[in-house]
């Protein structure tokens, strides 16, 4: 019954009346994918947008420069737990299809002047909340903005 194919999941859907050239179905995951692609295109094509994002990222880093260091100092058990869990994860990596892991978690510091992370798809595990027990992981795309923009991906 759907007249179009979703550009993300490939399933058929009927575009809503007000958006005749709708490319993505209404599933939340597909809408997220639409926004993600939109932002990637925007970053690729719009130097002003790119610069603004880089500035925002830098400001955030300045505000949070000591965040992880302080957090680790005040949560030694968190750090130890993370190390143990990371070792465990390194032992059974069954999820290496898309990208390298951000390791080790305890040393992760996005605010280094030299950013140790390259643009790409990463697995993100929430540091707090129910995710810690269930080990839910999300795939996130990271685009490094501050060291010049690389076009890969």
**Distance in Å, CB of 40 to Zn ion, minimum:** 18
CB of 146 to Zn ion, least distance (A): 33
Minimum CB distance to Zn ion smaller for 27 or for 64: 27
Distance in Å, CB of 8 to Zn ion, minimum: 5
Q: Does 8 bind Zn ion (CB under 5 A)?
A: yes
Residue closest to 52 by CA, chosen among 39, 64, 63: 39
Q: For residues 68 and 107, give the distance between their C-alpha atoms in angstroms, rounded to a whole number.
A: 8
Contact residue for Zn ion among 6, 43, 102, 125 (CB under 5 A): 6
Q: Which of residues 29-48 bind Zn ion (CB under 5 A)?
A: 30
| Minimum distance, C-beta of residue 6 to Zn ion, in the bound complex (Å) | 3
Structure tokens at 117: 């992370």
Q: Which is nearer to Zn ion, 9 or 144 (CB)?
A: 9
DSSP per residue, 62-118: HHTTTHHHHHHHH-HHHHHHHHHHHHHHHHT----SS------GGG--TT-SS----
Local structure of 19: helix, strand or coil: coil
Which residues are at the interface with Zn ion (CB under 5 A)?
A: 6, 8-9, 25, 27, 30
């Amino acid at each position: 019954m759907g007249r179009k194919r979703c550009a993300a999941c490939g399933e058929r859907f009927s575009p809503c009346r007000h958006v005749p050239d709708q490319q993505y179905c209404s599933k939340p995951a597909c809408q997220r994918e639409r926004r993600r692609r939109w932002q990637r295109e925007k970053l690729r094509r719009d130097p002003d947008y790119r610069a603004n994002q880089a500035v925002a990222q830098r400001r955030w880093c300045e505000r949070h420069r000591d965040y992880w260091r302080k957090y680790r100092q005040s949560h030694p058990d968190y750090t130890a737990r993370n190390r143990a869990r990371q070792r465990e994860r390194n032992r059974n990596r069954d999820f290496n299809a898309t990208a390298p892991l951000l390791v080790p978690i305890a040393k992760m510091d996005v605010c280094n002047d030299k950013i140790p992370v390259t643009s790409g798809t990463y697995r993100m595990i929430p540091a707090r909340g129910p995710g810690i027990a269930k080990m839910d992981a999300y795939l996130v795309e990271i685009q490094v903005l501050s060291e010049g923009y690389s076009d890969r991906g």
